[in-house]
């Protein structure tokens, strides 16, 4: 699997995603520049966290209009893997690749801490190394992660099983207190209907090594590698 990490001016988790893919997963990985209109044949595209173009106007709004996003959209429509983390998730929303929008956290402050997530489904290319219902601990670091959409759109997300990660209490129960940013239905991450474009606010790349005290994010990358290998086998 060839991976590309897009670098926008203001991206700041690009090196972190690159590090996990290259050093931990031992995959072929390269940086993609924001003003290129192709993806150099990458199978997985990561839209990293940060403050692309300063997040001026709205988080992810300007990035959604950059040349590279046209290529990312085409890649996603063709069934290619796209993973948007934090600012990358915001870009997926702003570009219409995923439904919904972000508001400021309900605390109106930047929140950096570990949160507990429930993995809602394990039948995706992103989550097959998790168990459905599994609890994982993942760091968040954002000011605008309060997911919102209309009730009917949220119902549709649920019906289509597009909610992949939800904020929960450490014991796995639903809890308003644990829904740290106030997201609708405690949504932390969603996938498109086809299951190949995932956006999530928590940072799996920050918890994929034991030395950092937490490797709960690693199965996500392992799942992707497995899915990619299976797809290649099918193609042959």
Partner 1 sequence: MSAEAEPNVDLELARAHGLTDEEYEDLIGFLGREPSYTELGITSALWSEHCSYKSSKVYLREFPTTGPRVLQGPGENAGAVDVGHGWAAVFKMESHNHPSYIEPYQGAATGVGGILRDVFTMGARPIACMDSLRFGAIDAPRMRHLVDGVVRGIGDYGNCVGIPTVGGETGFHPAYNGNILVNAFALGIARHEDIFLGLASGIGNPILYVGSRTGRDGIHGATMASESFDSESEAKLPTVQVGDPFTEKVLLEACLDAMGTGAIVGIQDMGAAGLTSSAFEMADRSGTGVRMDLDRVPLREEGLIPYEMMLSESQERMVIVAEAGREQEVIQVFERWGLAVTEIGEVTNTKHAVITHQGQVVADMPISPLVNEAPMYERPVAVPDDLAQRQEAPEVPVPEDAGTALEALLSAPGLASSEWIWRQYDHTVRTNTVIGPGGDAAVLRLKQTPSALALTSDVNPVYCSLDPRRGGAQAVVEAVRNLACVGAEPVGLTDCLNFGNPENPEISWQFRECVRGMAEACSVLGVPVVSGNVSFYNETEGSSVLPTPTVAMVGLIARLGDPPRSHFSQPGDRVILFGSDAGEFGGSAYLRHVHGLERGRPPAVDLASEAALSALLCELADRGMLHAAHDLSEGGLAVALAEATFGRGIGASVDVGYTAETLFSESQARALVAVAPEEAEAVLRAAAQRGVPAHDIGETGGADLVISFDGGELRRSVDSLHETWSTALPRALGM
125 Rama class: left (phi>0) / alpha (psi -120 to 50) / beta: alpha
Question: Could you give the string, one character per residue 139-158, with x where binding to partner 1 holds by CB under 8 A and - elsewhere?
Answer: x-x-x---------------
- Residue 100 binds partner 1, judged by CB under 8 A: no
Q: Which of 94, 120, 203, 207 is catalytic?
A: 203
Structure tokens at 29: 């990985």
192 Rama class: left (phi>0) / alpha (psi -120 to 50) / beta: beta
Closest CB to partner 1 among residues 53, 167: 53
Task: Find the shortest distance in angstroms from Cβ 234 to partner 1.
Answer: 33
Closest CB to partner 1 among residues 16, 149: 16
Task: Find the shortest distance in angstroms from Cβ 49 to partner 1.
Answer: 8
Contact 60, 87 (CB under 8 A): yes
Name the phi and psi angles at 19, rounded to 5: -60, -45
Residue 112 annotated to the active site: no
Q: Which of 42, 86, 142, 144 is catalytic?
A: 86
Residue 203 annotated to the active site: yes
- Residue 204 binds partner 1, judged by CB under 8 A: no
- Residue 51 binds partner 1, judged by CB under 8 A: yes
- Residue 9 binds partner 1, judged by CB under 8 A: yes
Active site residues: 86, 203, 205
Interaction site with partner 1 (CB under 8 A): 9-10, 12-13, 15-16, 19-20, 23, 49-51, 53-56, 109-113, 139, 141, 143, 203, 205-206, 209, 211-213
């Amino acid at each position: 699997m060839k991976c590309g990490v897009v670098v926008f001016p203001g991206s700041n988790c690009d090196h972190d995603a690159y590090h996990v893919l290259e050093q931990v997963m031992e995959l072929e990985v390269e940086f993609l520049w924001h003003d290129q209109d192709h993806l150099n044949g990458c199978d997985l595209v990561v839209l990293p966290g940060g403050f692309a173009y300063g997040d001026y106007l709205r988080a992810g709004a300007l990035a959604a209009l950059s040349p590279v996003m046209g290529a990312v959209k085409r890649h996603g429509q063709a069934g290619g893997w796209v993973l948007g983390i934090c600012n990358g998730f915001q870009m997926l929303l702003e570009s219409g690749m995923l439904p919904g929008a972000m508001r400021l956290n309900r605390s109106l402050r930047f929140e950096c801490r570990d949160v507990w997530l429930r993995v809602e489904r394990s039948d995706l290319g992103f989550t097959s190394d998790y168990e459905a219902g599994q609890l994982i601990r993942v760091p968040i670091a954002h000011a605008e992660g309060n997911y919102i959409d209309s009730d009917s759109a949220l119902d549709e997300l649920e019906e289509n099983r597009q909610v992949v990660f939800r904020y929960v209490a450490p014991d796995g129960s639903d809890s308003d207190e644990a829904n740290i940013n106030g997201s609708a239905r405690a949504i932390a991450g969603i996938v498109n209907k086809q299951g190949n474009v995932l956006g999530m606010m928590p940072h799996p790349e920050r918890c994929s090594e034991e030395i950092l005290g937490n490797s709960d994010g690693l199965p996500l990358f392992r799942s992707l590698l497995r899915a990619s290998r299976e797809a290649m086998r099918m193609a042959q």
